[in-house]
């Protein structure tokens, strides 16, 4: 694919990823040109390509843009492509660049130039009447854009800052060929089918109701089975690693959260305080303070450390209404939380064990598509973070060093830290929407000091421990959402709400079917008998596409005569014949080994 760079030289590029990026970037320009033709007052901010396509943030002034306007823009884009305009770059000195943009009424571009370093080369690309400030590279002619589609519009803040004006973001995607575009559209449709909210409803896993409140989903019997299995799973792992589990209340005094610093740095994410008998309480957004108090409950020797306190903790956060998303993000959720109280010397070892646990769990669930982030504070942000430069420098470099020593592959992100310390976050991409954090491991020199926690060291001195906050499954709710989407609701046997469904060919075989089902239930298997008078095909279909049960047992005359069962495995059309005893052994083995 031929592309043109800002200095005017043309190169043949042969790298699929790069090609796609350039193609989409040019698509963004063509879209902007189309918009400018249709809405001459439009003022353009940023218009990049990304891994899914491209977008342009546009200020339409007082003009309201809605979905219905997209086809018009798309048509105009097609016209521009057809016109086959050459794409030509040019470079201007700073003053002239500013003047050009000012003359064209591009106030965002002018501001953008102001943000660029003094020695920056300021380049432009022109196609027909349209000029955009851009570093490129781009396609050489508009006709080289073969397959594109506008996907929707949304709001986006100028420079990603909610204090700034909200612009209209128009999103689209582009591919080298129409077939690839079509395949992508199909992929989007399939992602919708994987959406945990949809599957949760289909499988009766959870529900929500306006009367209960938004962001407050409720787990139904089948969903709660999955939830409990996850709880048992992670607690078992943690117990084996020396964690001790506790139970603490969902409410605490405001004073507790003033002591921890949440009141100063996290208040926006908390439900407002409630007053009773002259005392103020809050629903807790985090349970760290409770665990700090548990540590403080008695004196500790260095010999006691590390102390690992875990809890499946109910937390409540006041999340902005627009961010709520099924059980992936609600205003109530259950963290798989733990706080490790360690000596400075133990930091590396304990972070290492946490990281090992995270990847061990991911292996069990087959999670391979994740990204590690070292989340650091934004030193400019004086509100969000506990202010103590020395503490932050120490914590950030300590965590970075440990991650390097452990050989973790990560990227650093500024402004993503917790208010009390830096984090290692492990992020995944759900079926729909932006990346989410699943696991986290946070290094905290702050809270132990605020709570004046101590241990007596070998030299007899009283010292302050370091705290690691960590969540492996993150929250059980969010983890479950992710697993639902990864498995499309086809849970492994140990997690499946219904593990076996017993189906009979006719009512005549009720007695035998019941005895088979009873035997499975007695063996600890979650088995159900479908005793409706439906055709066998109908019941198989439902067990397969609605309940997504791992095993179906079909019983008819043949099985009754032979004293056997016929087993059909989810997603398989072949069946095998076996005895109840053998089947129980097989399934119990799978459950035990969490297969």
Partner RNA sequence: GCCAAUGUGGCUCAGGGGUAGAGCAAUUCACUCGUAAUGAAUAGGUCGUGAGUUCGAUUCUCACCAUUGGCUCCA
DSSP-assigned states of every residue in 50-101: -SS-EEEEEE-TT----GGGHHHHHHHHHHHHHHTPBEEEEEE-HHHHHHHH
Q: What angle do CA 310, 314, 318 make, to 5 degrees?
A: 130
Find, among 508, 523, 529, the residue nearest to 580 by Cα. 523
Q: 270 and 257 in contact (C-beta within 8 Å)?
A: yes
Is 265 marked active-site? no
Packing angle, helices 94-103 and 107-115, rounded to 10: 160
Annotated active-site residue in 284, 317, 478, 504 = 317
Quote the least distance from Cβ 195 to RNA, whole Å. Answer: 6
Report how far residue 360's alpha carbon sits from residue 379's, in angstroms, rounded to the nearest whole number.
Answer: 34
Site for RNA in 301-330 (CB under 7 A): 317, 319-326, 328-330
Quote the least distance from Cβ 411 to RNA, whole Å. Answer: 14
CB-wise, 101 or 395, nearer to RNA?
395
Secondary element (H or E) of residue 178: helix 178-194
Find, among 344, 322, 343, 342, the residue nearest to 331 by Cα. 322
Candidate list 136, 215, 465, 550; residue touching RNA; CB under 7 A: 215
Does the protein bind RNA through residue 575 (CB under 7 A)? yes
CB-wise, 211 or 276, nearer to RNA?
211
Find, among 317, 587, 592, 301, the residue nearest to 455 by Cα. 301
Q: What angle do CA 134, 137, 139 make, to 5 degrees?
A: 115
Does the protein bind RNA through residue 379 (CB under 7 A)? no
Is 262 marked active-site? no
CB-wise, 308 or 325, nearer to RNA?
325
Quote the least distance from Cβ 523 to RNA, whole Å. Answer: 22
Candidate list 438, 453, 480, 529; residue touching RNA; CB under 7 A: 438
Q: Is 229 left (phi over 0), alpha (psi -120 to 50) or beta?
A: alpha
Backbone angles phi, psi at 47, to 5 degrees: -145, 70
CB-wise, 398 or 555, nearer to RNA?
555
CB-wise, 51 or 103, nearer to RNA?
51
Contact window for RNA (CB under 7 A) among 97-105, 220-228, 348-356, 432-440: 432-440
CB-wise, 368 or 573, nearer to RNA?
573
Q: 106 and 44 in contact (C-beta within 8 Å)?
A: yes
Does the protein bind RNA through residue 522 (CB under 7 A)? no
Candidate list 415, 524, 581, 589; residue touching RNA; CB under 7 A: 415
Report how far residue 190's alpha carbon sits from residue 201's, in angstroms, rounded to the nearest whole number.
Answer: 17
Contact window for RNA (CB under 7 A) among 404-412, 511-519, 521-529, 537-545: 537-545
Annotated active-site residue in 386, 423, 478, 568 = 423
Does the protein bind RNA through residue 541 (CB under 7 A)? yes
Quote the least distance from Cβ 577 to RNA, whole Å. Answer: 8
Contact window for RNA (CB under 7 A) among 15-23, 299-307, 389-397, 505-513: 505-513
Is 264 strand, coil or helix? helix
Quote the least distance from Cβ 6 to RNA, whole Å. Answer: 26
Site for RNA in 82-101 (CB under 7 A): none
CB neighbour list of residue 337: distance below 8 Å, 6 or more residues apart: 286, 287, 288, 291, 310, 311, 312, 313, 469, 470, 471
Quote the least distance from Cβ 52 to RNA, whole Å. Answer: 9
Report how far residue 84's alpha carbon sits from residue 540's, in angstroms, rounded to the nearest whole number.
Answer: 56
Is 382 strand, coil or helix? coil
Does the protein bind RNA through residue 540 (CB under 7 A)? yes
Candidate list 536, 578, 586, 590; residue touching RNA; CB under 7 A: 536
Is 587 strand, coil or helix? helix
433 has which bridge partners?
none
Site for RNA in 255-294 (CB under 7 A): 269
Does the protein bind RNA through residue 360 (CB under 7 A)? no
Contact window for RNA (CB under 7 A) among 33-41, 223-231, 427-435, 456-464: 427-435
Annotated active-site residue in 132, 196, 288, 334 = 288
Quote the least distance from Cβ 211 to RNA, whole Å. Answer: 9
Is 423 marked active-site? yes
Candidate list 83, 111, 236, 507; residue touching RNA; CB under 7 A: 507
428 has which bridge partners?
370, 436
Does the protein bind RNA through residue 505 (CB under 7 A)? yes
Contact window for RNA (CB under 7 A) among 9-17, 122-130, 412-420, 491-499: 412-420
CB neighbour list of residue 498: distance below 8 Å, 6 or more residues apart: 222, 526, 527, 528, 547, 549
The first and second tokens of residue 480, run together, are 């479950």
Contact window for RNA (CB under 7 A) among 139-147, 206-214, 251-259, 390-398: 206-214
281 has which bridge partners?
253, 274
Q: 353 and 308 in contact (C-beta within 8 Å)?
A: no
Candidate list 9, 239, 245, 535; residue touching RNA; CB under 7 A: 535
Is 62 marked active-site? no
Site for RNA in 136-195 (CB under 7 A): 152-157, 160-162, 166, 168-169, 195
CB-wise, 68 or 390, nearer to RNA?
68
Secondary element (H or E) of residue 527: strand 527-530
Is 335 marked active-site? yes
Is 332 marked active-site? no
Site for RNA in 43-82 (CB under 7 A): 64-67
Site for RNA in 332-351 (CB under 7 A): 333, 335
Candidate list 2, 99, 363, 558; residue touching RNA; CB under 7 A: 558
Residue 339 Cα distances to 47, 244, 347, 465, angstroms: 43, 10, 12, 11
The first and second tokens of residue 434, run together, are 């932006």
Is 288 marked active-site? yes
Candidate list 559, 583, 587, 591; residue touching RNA; CB under 7 A: 559
Quote the least distance from Cβ 317 to RNA, whole Å. Answer: 5
Find, among 39, 47, 46, 40, the residue nearest to 65 by Cα. 39
Is 29 strand, coil or helix? helix
Quote the least distance from Cβ 94 to RNA, whole Å. Answer: 28
State the number of binding residues for RNA (CB under 7 A).
Answer: 85
Residues marked as catalytic: 288, 317, 335, 337, 339, 423, 469
């Amino acid at each position: 694919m031929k592309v043109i760079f800002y200095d005017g030289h043309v190169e043949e590029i042969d790298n699929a990823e790069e090609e796609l990026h350039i193609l989409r970037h040019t698509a963004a320009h063509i879209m902007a040109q189309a918009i400018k033709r249709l809405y001459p007052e439009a003022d353009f901010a940023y218009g990049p390509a990304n891994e899914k396509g491209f977008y342009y943030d546009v200020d339409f002034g007082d003009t309201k843009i809605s979905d219905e306007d997209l086809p018009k823009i798309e048509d105009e884009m097609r016209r521009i492509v057809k016109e086959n305009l050459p794409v030509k770059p040019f470079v201007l000195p700073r003053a002239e660049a500013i003047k050009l943009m000012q003359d064209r009424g591009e106030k965002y571009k002018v501001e953008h130039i102001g943000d660029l370093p003094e020695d920056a080369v300021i380049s432009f690309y022109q196609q027909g009447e349209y000029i955009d400030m851009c570093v490129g590279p781009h396609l050489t002619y508009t006709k080289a854009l073969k397959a594109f589609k506008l996907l929707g519009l949304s709001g986006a803040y100028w420079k990603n800052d909610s204090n700034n004006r909200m612009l209209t973001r128009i999103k689209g995607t582009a591919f080298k060929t129409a077939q690839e575009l079509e395949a992508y559209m199909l992929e989007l449709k399939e992602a919708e089918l994987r959406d945990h909210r949809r599957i949760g409803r289909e499988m009766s896993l959870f529900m929500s109701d306006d009367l209960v409140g938004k962001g407050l989903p409720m787990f139904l019997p089948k969903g709660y089975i999955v939830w409990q299995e996850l709880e048992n799973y992670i607690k078992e792992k943690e117990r084996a690693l020396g964690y001790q589990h506790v139970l603490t209340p969902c409410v605490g005094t405001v004073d507790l959260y003033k002591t921890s610093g949440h009141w100063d740095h996290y208040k926006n994410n908390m439900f407002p305080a409630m007053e009773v008998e002259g005392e103020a309480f809050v629903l807790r957004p985090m349970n760290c303070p409770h665990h700090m108090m548990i540590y403080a409950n008695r004196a500790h020797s260095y010999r006691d450390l590390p102390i690992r306190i875990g809890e499946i903790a109910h937390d409540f956060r006041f999340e902005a209404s627009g961010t709520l998303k099924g059980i992936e993000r609600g205003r109530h959720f259950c963290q798989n939380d733990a706080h490790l109280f360690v000596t400075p010397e133990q930091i590396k070892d304990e972070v290492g064990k946490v990281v090992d646990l995270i990847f061990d769990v991911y292996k069990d669930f087959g999670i391979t598509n994740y990204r590690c982030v070292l989340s650091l504070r934004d030193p400019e942000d004086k509100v969000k973070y506990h202010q103590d430069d020395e503490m932050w420098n120490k914590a950030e470099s300590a965590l970075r060093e440990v991650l390097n020593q452990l050989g973790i592959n990560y990227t650093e992100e500024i402004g993503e830290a917790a208010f009390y310390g830096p984090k290692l976050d492990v992020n995944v991409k759900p079926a729909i929407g932006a990346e989410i954090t699943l696991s986290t491991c946070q290094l905290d020199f702050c809270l132990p000091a605020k709570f004046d926690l101590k241990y007596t060291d070998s030299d007899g001195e009283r010292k302050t421990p370091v705290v690691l906050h960590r969540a492996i499954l993150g929250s059980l709710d969010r983890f479950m959402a992710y697993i639902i989407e990864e498995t499309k609701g086809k849970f492994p046997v140990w997690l499946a709400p219904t593990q076996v469904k017993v189906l009979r060919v006719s009512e005549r075989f009720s007695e035998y079917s019941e005895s088979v089902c009873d035997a499975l239930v007695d063996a600890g298997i979650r088995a159900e008998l479908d005793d409706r008078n439906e055709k066998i095909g109908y019941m198989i279909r439902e067990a397969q596409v609605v309940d997504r049960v791992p095993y179906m047992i079909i019983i008819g005359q043949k099985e009754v005569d032979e004293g056997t069962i016929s087993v059909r495995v989810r997603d398989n059309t072949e069946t095998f014949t076996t005895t109840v005893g053998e089947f129980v052994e097989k399934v119990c083995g799978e459950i035990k080994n969490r297969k």
